[in-house]
Structure 1
Amino acid sequence: MAATTGPRNTPAALGDMRKPPLPAAGKINQGAMVQINAAGYAVPASATIANVTIGRADEGVDNTAGANGDKSITVRRGVFRYANSAAGDLIARTEIGKTVYVVDDQTVAKTNNAGARPAAGICFDVDAQGVWVEFA
């Protein structure tokens, strides 16, 4: 494509939301961490290293009776609180600013479990109720 020679209508995205499709038989609950799987579909976050964590589900979507891509979900970037892991993977305030890792769709841990867990996001804060995770 050649360089522009005049004005160009360049679409913009807000950047804090995206709407990826779900796979066949997929279901994601409202508030859950969401990942994109190796096939490009939105799935509940899990300790699956091939998945990429993208944010929090704004609503629940049930595509259990549908085919690939029949339904999509609104996923929001930002800072959200999730459950803290336990024992050696408990996240403390000393982890603020560091990467935290997915245990399941509502829990984050301090370590990647020897490379078995994908990154969730950055630890924004830690309080008595859990870990505030920043999704970029």
Structure 2
Amino acid sequence: MTALAADRNTPAMDGELLAVLVATNTVIYAGSLVAANASGYAAPGSVATTLQYLGRAEQSVNNNPGANGAKSVLVSRRKAFKWANHGADLVVQADLGKTCYIVDDQTVAKTSGGSTRSIAGKVIQIDADGVWVE
């Protein structure tokens, strides 16, 4: 590869709605918290240290049975989503602006659970019925 010596028509996308290949033997429900697993495939949120938060599923997808990438799911990103607050590890007002962690496909917690949970994102608001995560 060499550096440019002229203008380049570089493709672009907004990245707000992505089609992500789904992990093998996986069901993802519309409205659920979606993460990329260690292999880069979409999976429901769960207690694991190898997940990368992606966003909210815009549709239900059943890839069970199915190989990695046999189906894809639309994932909405770059927005704040309200997730359930884990009762045993509550995110509270003092956590505003701090990191919260994935518990399952609809729940976040204040802590990493002893380094067993992956990062969900930053807390931007706490309501009585959930936590807004960006």
Same fold (TM over 0.5): yes
Offset at residue 24 of structure 1 (A):
2.2
**Counterpart residue identity of residue 14, structure 2:** L
Partner SS state of residue 2, structure 2 = coil
Provide the rounded CA distance (Å) in 1 between the counterparts of 2:4 and 2:48: 43
Counterparts of 1:1-136 in structure 2, within 5 Å, are 1-77=1-77, 78-87=79-88, 89-134=89-134
Provide the rounded CA distance (Å) in 1 between the counterparts of 2:102 and 2:69: 24
Count of residues paired in the alignment: 133
**Counterpart residue identity of residue 56, structure 1:** R
Provide the rounded CA distance (Å) in 2 between the counterparts of 1:39 and 1:59: 22
Question: For structure 1, which segment, 46-55 or 59-68, has the greater mean C-alpha deviation from structure 2 after superposition?
Answer: 59-68
Structure 2 unpaired stretches of 5+: none
Question: For structure 1, which segment, 17-26 or 111-120, has the greater mean C-alpha deviation from structure 2 after superposition?
Answer: 17-26
Partner SS state of residue 66, structure 2 = coil
Identity of aligned residues (%): 45
Moved over 4 A (4+): none
